[in-house]
Every structure is written in structure tokens, then in C-alpha cells.
Structure 1
Amino acid sequence: MTSTFLSTLRGRHDHGDKCGITSVCSAHPDVIRAALLLARENDQPVLIEATCNQVNQDGGYTGMTPATFRSFVEEISGSVGFDSGRLILGGDHLGPNPWKHLPPEQAMAKARDMVAAYASAGFSKLHLDCSMGCSGEPEALEDELVARRAADLAAVAEAKSSVLPFYIIGTEVPVPGGASHAVDHLHVTDPAAARRTFDVHARSFAAKGLETAFDRVIGLVVQPGVEFGNANVVAYQPDRAKDLLQALVDMPNVVFEAHSTDYQTAEALSTLVDDGFAILKVGPGLTFALREALYGLDLIAAELDGAPPMLKQTMEIMMLGDRIHWEKYYQGNTTQQRLQRHFSYSDRIRYYWSQTAARQAVEALKKRLANDPIPETLISQYLSPLTAPVRSGALKPDFDALTLAYIQATLRDYAEACGH
């Protein structure tokens, strides 16, 4: 099965092969479509992940359960001619996080139900994350308790899964979606802490008779020193992570999983994979690229028909009318918040694209551009990274092709870093 590709990552790394995989963390259909098309072009498997808040047994903020998310992705897969047998689905941060306001017993009961739903739906990569305290507990928990809860969830997955899942463990996880403040320096995970995380999970799995399940732990989440805030990116510095990399020697079959790799340079991504961070997670960086493409196309439409651009105005009205997804994350005065709503690296505008008004505005933009070919000169002005492929004839200058190609420009950096 394609998911067994994950189990080869460590061995191929040890043999000096250039081998990694991009974890596409998005529920936007255009992002998923772009990833599937690129994977088809490269003849590679594709890993698409949903988070505990995004997709769960209660629907999450997308309104999808794991089973409906699977159907959603498979429908897109079929529409672009991608072999669904090469599709790997993952669940990220699976644990009590969506219900941490509840007492521990209730929160963990909900987490068990969620893991059962992911496992029953055939998700084959499960990140078990029980690092957060629930009601009445400290914000951060002791390693042993975290590991016991993770093993509890693994037992559920083993019982409910239609395929033998591979597991990711690790509690040193960056803030999902990036930091809400400027970041200029990060502490790389201490190698002793990484080894301890591995060891306490091994003991906790063994205590539940889950030794064979622990053999399928193929990744450990650590902090390699990469992150992004609303307006800046902390670049990977290999020298700072060299001690951490030595910890891999003591953890057979495991690679490191790097979260928040969005906006890293192509060179940095490649170095991360070479160093053993073989699973590169990216999410906001892809919808950031989507938003750039759509805003560029909106400006092109305005040049062509003389009417004002409309998409950004629509999104602004939506976000001002519903502040829940951005207000507590974007600081500063009125102007600074306005800029962040549209241009923050955290890209919290991504929560609005699925809403009816946004979908209608995008469809209206597409219709504005449907009558005539988009001039190369306007692509050069507003979507300049795509000028060369349009000029050469490799890329068709229409709405759909330009939108997908703009997202794929980011995905290609990841694919090349992973050796594809």
C-alpha cells in the first residue's frame, strides 16, 4: 500500500537517499487539486492531512467528519485522474485539544471517539498529541501522562482501523497556523528531550501490549528552529539543529516531522530533508499563495473591464462581520489589523474562503475573466512568477490554470526538496 512509503523514509535517509514527503495540511479544494495534479505529474504519492479542529466526529470548523473528508478528497482525486491508491490521509494533533475546556475524563472520551472516527475512515497516518492540559490541569503536562494518553488513543486506533496505521508522536509542537506575534529566535528541541519523548511513549505503548503498534511509530515531532509570525519567517539554521540530529541514532525507524515549514526557502526545505526532517508540513503557505493568485486575478479583471476590483472588498466585509477567526490573533492599530487580515503569513483569511459570500465572489471573478484570454503583460504585472511558463506556452493563461499553477509554485519547492 502507498502508506508503507512512510515506513521507508528512515531507511532511505540512512542510505543517503534524497527522500521526504510533503504533508499538505489544507481543506481548500484548489489546494488539494493542485497537490494531486503535481503528484500525478511527478508519479508520487501524496499526503493530505486534516487537523483535530478542522475535521472531527462533530464536524470541526469545516463541517466534515473524517469519513466525509475522505470522500471529499477522493472526489477531487477522481476529477483530476489521480490514482486514489496513491493517496495517504493523515490526522494531525489528534487528542483532546478541541475539548480541553472539559475535565480530562470527558475530553479524552471525545478524543477517543475522534481517533475511532479517523481510524475507521482509513486514515493511515495519525499524529497523537495529548500534550495540552484539560480543565483543572496545568497548561503543559508531564511526559509520562502525555504518553499514557497517547497510548490510550493508539489502542483505539488499533481496534478500529481498517488499515494498520503509522503513528507520529511528539509534544514539542509549534503553534498551529504560526505565531501571533513577531518571532526572531526559537529554541531547537533538546536532543535529550527528544529521546525521552520516544522512550516514555515506548514504555506506555508496551504497558498496554501495543509493542507492534509502537513499531509503526515512524515520526517524532520536534522543533528544528523554524516558524513564522504574521509578518516574518524564522529561517532554518542547520548548525543549530546538529545536536538534535544526533538523537536520531538512538531512535530506529523514526524520522523527524517538521511543522510550520511554510515560507522556508527551497534551499532550506532541501536541507531539512537531508538532515532527517523527512516529513514537511505546510498549510497556511499554500492558501497564502492561493490568495495572492486570486487578488492578482482580481486586479487583472479590473484592468480589463474598467470596473473596480471586488474580491478583496468582499473578503474585508466578511471578516469585519465575523471576527472570530482573526481578532484575537492580529494585534496593532486599525491599519495594521487591516493589512494582517489580508496579507498576514498566518493567513487566517483561509477560514473564510469556504463561506457562501466568498465562493460567490470567486465565481464572479472567474466569470469576469472568462470571455477573453488574459494578456501576458498583465500576468507579468500581477502574477509575475507565472510569466515565463505562460510565455513559453507551457501554461494556459486562464483563471483555473493560473490559480493552480500559482499554488503549485510553492508545492514544487517541497517536491524538489523531497527528491521528487
Structure 2
Amino acid sequence: MLTLEDLARLRREGRPRGMASVCSAHPLVLRAALRHGLRTGAPVLIEATCNQVNHQGGYTGMTPADFAALVRRISAEEGCPPGQLLLGGDHLGPNPWRALPAEAAMAEAGRMVAAYVAAGFSKIHLDTSMGCAGEPAALEDATTARRAARLARIADETARSHGLAPPRFILGTEVPPPGGADHALDSVAPTAPDAARATIAIHHETFAQEGLEDAFDRVLAFVVQPGVEFGNRNVALYDRTRARPLTAVLAEEPGLVFEAHSTDYQGPGPLAALVEDGFPILKVGPELTFVLREALYALDLIATELVPGYGTRPLAATMERVMRDRPADWQRHYPGSAADQHLLRHYSLSDRIRYYWPDPEARQAVDALTAALAGRRVPLPLWRQFLPAAEDHADRPLDPEALLIERVTASLAIYHAACHPDERKG
């Protein structure tokens, strides 16, 4: 089975392969990823972010141990072998506590990294680039590298004390905003090659100065900007010509690859090009919950037309109410008029509606929808009207959960094809 350590070697050999990184805490997305992995035999890399999951609970209310237990439970239910599952921690650093003075924020970051490693997360992205209270918003490479080395030491010490294999690290911080940009995008400039070289060099030098040469040997990739991003309304697609000076840096670093963030909505061609060009780790999250929401809203419309007494789009109405009652997770990201904000609340590509699915009212509305349609035969015209991609479900008893997982899997399959070009050719 493909491992993270294989990626640089396979690229050097002219046989590039990749690995999708599923960044979501939604149980149906997790189930889809694990079910897809079982079917394909490919490794299943699932990651949690510092804001989403941390030692204080994060916005999901889960610690790293809680999240790991959830994923492992679903994995066991799906029959996915434990050795096929990889857990990663994304953007681990002081970001959730950057309003605090640097030392206090870094102390919390250290506790978070320790919690991730102790819970069995073996792929650790250290991101210490953001300024804390009284500091510039973005720090220079030297400070960033010192703070990353500090967290790497904590990670290694935690692994040793728990009898675990030492973690593999991802370094580098030139990444898009978590969850996508808030503005319309024309294009996104790739990282300058000299900036990438400088970042790699100063981290290497700093880790050596701190006696962490062994930890640096376990650095698999650096995060850079390949020129991909999505905003609320549009997507900046990968242009390999513009990225060629950046990807040339890998010829000087044969043991490394690049990790690409915000690859959501890129589609088959750009994803395949990213893998071929040296970005074999493809982070995806909002696209997966977007297609889940898309399917849920289609079912909401179908039930409105098909099921007596169901009401008129009660799921969409519930989500509108829940989001307006608790606007903190979308308000600063969705500019414009009231009509603009209404559209973005439900249909933005950044999919901040994903934060609201755990709400009790939202769960109740989803449960009511799936109960209304479970076992019903939906006629072909309704599928063609509201979800043409699911036409093969026409006129047979519907399993709503299976349909939702199927729609998420359709996106995962695009990533799998990009990551496994040998299977495409076969």
C-alpha cells in the first residue's frame, strides 16, 4: 500500500502518485472516505485542524482523542483495516490562541500538539507563521522556524513517552486562508521559488541548531502556494506553466514534495497535474460538505414535492434560522447585501454551513428528511429536476444515507483518479 514516505521517491522515479487528505469532521464524509478506501485499497488520510479539534475541544467540541475515536469507530464499522487509516493534524500551532501573548499561545500550541500525537496522529503539519498579541500578522521565517522546532520537539517527546513511532512532519506556511478566500478571485500567484528555498533552508538550519536533525529527516513536505484557491463564488484553477519555476525547486530537494491546500473544486485535470508536478498531497474539505449539502437540499426539494405533509423545504428553512440565530461562523466571511448574504449562507463554495450541521435543530431536520424519504420510490422526473446525477435511484426504494455517501464518494473518486494515474491508464 502507498505510504507518505513513498511520494518523493515515486516522483523521482517518474511514477508520481498522490494521496488525498480528507479534512472534515462530518460523520457521513468520514464514512464515505473510509468506505471508498476499503473498496479501492488506497490509504485513507483524514486530518483535523487546530480550530476544529484541539485539547480544549475546538469548534467541534472534540479533543484529538475524541476525533480519533470517532474515526476509528466508523472505520471499524466499515471494515476498513486499521493499517489503512492515517490520521493527520493540520495547521498545528498558536492560531487558535493568537490573541494571547506569544509565550502563552505557544504553550497552548504545545499542549495541543502533545494531545494530537498521544492520540495517534502520525502526520503533523506545524504552522507557526501567525503573529500573536503585539506581533506582526505574519512572522519572518526565522521566528516561524524556531517555533516549529519547539513544537517538533514536543511531538517527538510525546511519541517516545507513549511508546509510539515518531511522527512525520509537514512544514511551511504559505497557504490559503482556512475555508477559502472571502473575495472574488481572478488568479492566485504561486509561491516564489526563492521564498520556498529560503523557507526550506532556514527550517533545516534551525532544526539542526536545536539538535533535531532526526526530526527534520522525517519532514515529508513543505506547504507552498501552487496557485490554487477558491472563494465564495469562484475557483482559481491550477496553471502548471505559472507553477513551473516553483516545482523546479524539488529537483534540489529530492527527499521532499509539496503539499497543496485548498484543492477543492479543481476537477480531474488540474488535480492530476498537481500530482504529476510535485504536489501529491491534496487537501480537500469544503467541497465534500458542499456536495453533501447539495444532495441534502435536493432531497429536501424532492420531499417537498413527493411527501404529503412534509412542508415546503423545511430543511433549508431550518438551516436559515439556525445560521441567522448564530452568525459568528459566517458573518465576517460573507459580505454584501442581505440578498447576497442569504445566497452565500446556503451556497457559498467555502461552505460555512458545514459548521451548523451538528446543531440539534439541524440534526432533527436532517433526520426528518431522511425518515420522510426512506424506502420511497422517487420517480425519474424528480431526480432529473433536482439531482440528475442520482437518476439511477429512480423508481426503487431509496436509502437516503447511502445516496448522500454516494455523492461524497463521487468527489473522492476524482481525487483517487488524480492520485493513481496507473489505474487511469489501466
TM-score, scaled relative to structure 1: 0.96
User: What residue number does 1:321 align with?
Assistant: 325
Residue 199 of structure 1 corresponds to 201
Residue 341 (structure 1) aligned with residue 373 (structure 2) = no
CA distance in 2 between partners of 1:255 and 1:375 (Å): 49
* Distance in 1 (alpha carbons) for counterparts of 2:7 and 2:252: 16
Larger deviation, residues 368-377 vs 109-118: 368-377
1:13-59 deviation line (CA, Å, top 9, x unaligned):
11122410000000000001011111111011100000000000000
2:139 paired residue among 138, 141, 147? 141
Instruction: Name the counterpart of 2:61.
Output: 63
Alignment correspondent of 2:18: 20
1:408 counterpart residue number: 409
In structure 2, the residue corresponding to 1:293 is in which secondary structure? helix
Equivalent position amino acid for 1:325 in 2: D
Let me know the Cα RMSD of the aligned residues: 1.4
Residue 122 of structure 1: CA displacement? Answer: 1.1
d(CA) in 1 for partners of 2:349, 2:245: 29
- 1:43-82 alignment, distance < 5 Å: 43-82=41-80
Matched, 1:353 2:357: yes
User: Aligned AA for 2:90?
Assistant: D
User: Aligned partner of 1:183: which letter?
Assistant: L
Q: Could you say which residue in structure 1 is the equivalent of 2:114?
A: 116
Counterpart of 2:333, as a letter, is Y
Match of 1:253 among 249, 252, 255: 255
Aligned residue identity for 1:56: N
Q: Which amino acid aligns with 2:276?
A: D
**SS of the residue 1:5 aligns to:** coil
Per the alignment, residue 98 of structure 1 pairs with 96
Matched AA of 2:408: I
Aligned to 2:313: 309
Distance 2:216 2:78 in 1: 36
Q: Residue 238 of structure 2 aligns to a residue in which SS?
A: coil
Aligned ranges for residues 216-295 of structure 1 at < 5 Å? 216-295=218-297
SS at 2:10 equivalent:
helix
SS at match of 1:400: helix
The answer to whether the 8 A contact 2:376-2:398 is kept is no
- Report the Cα offset of residue 396 of structure 1: 7.4
Query: What is the identity, as a one-letter code, of the residue corresponding to 1:106?
Result: A
Shift of 1:243: 0.4
Contact 2:20-2:415 at 8 Å conserved across structures: yes
Equivalent position amino acid for 2:249 in 1: A
Please, which runs of 5 or more residues in structure 2 have no aligned partner? Answer: none
> Is 1:7 matched up with 2:28?
no
Cα distance between partner residues in 1 of 2:120 and 2:213: 21
Separation (CA, whole Å) in 1 of partners of 2:218 and 2:194:
22
SS in 2 for 1:91: strand
Change (3 A) 1:399 1:91: same
Q: Deviations over 1:75-134 (max 9, x none)?
A: 111111111221000000000000000001100010110111011111000000000000
In the alignment, what sits opposite 1:40? 38
Distance 1:223 1:269 in 2: 14
Contact 2:53 2:62 in 1 (8 A): yes
Q: Secondary structure at the match of 1:328?
A: helix
| Aligned 8 A contact 1:52 1:97 in 2 | yes
Deviation at 1:171, TM superposition (A): 1.5
Which amino acid in structure 1 is aligned with residue 417 of structure 2? E
Aligned partners of 1:338, 1:316: CA distance in 2, in Å?
A: 8
Aligned partners of 1:252 and 1:154: how far apart in 2?
22
Shift of 1:377: 3.2
**Equivalenced residues, count:** 415
Distance 1:57 1:15 in 2: 41
**Structure 2: distance between partners of 1:327 and 1:204:** 40
Q: Is the 8 A contact 2:375 2:399 kept in 1?
A: no
Structure 2 contact 374–397 (Cα < 8 Å) conserved:
no
Structure 2 counterpart of 1:372: 376
| Aligned amino acid, residue 202 of structure 2 | V
Q: Which amino acid counterpart does residue 216 of structure 1 have in structure 2? A: R
Gaps (5+ residues) in structure 1?
Answer: none
Q: Tell me if structure 1 keeps the 8 A contact 2:53–2:64.
A: yes
Q: One-letter code of the match for 1:287?
A: T
Runs of 4+ in 1 over 6 A off after TM superposition: none
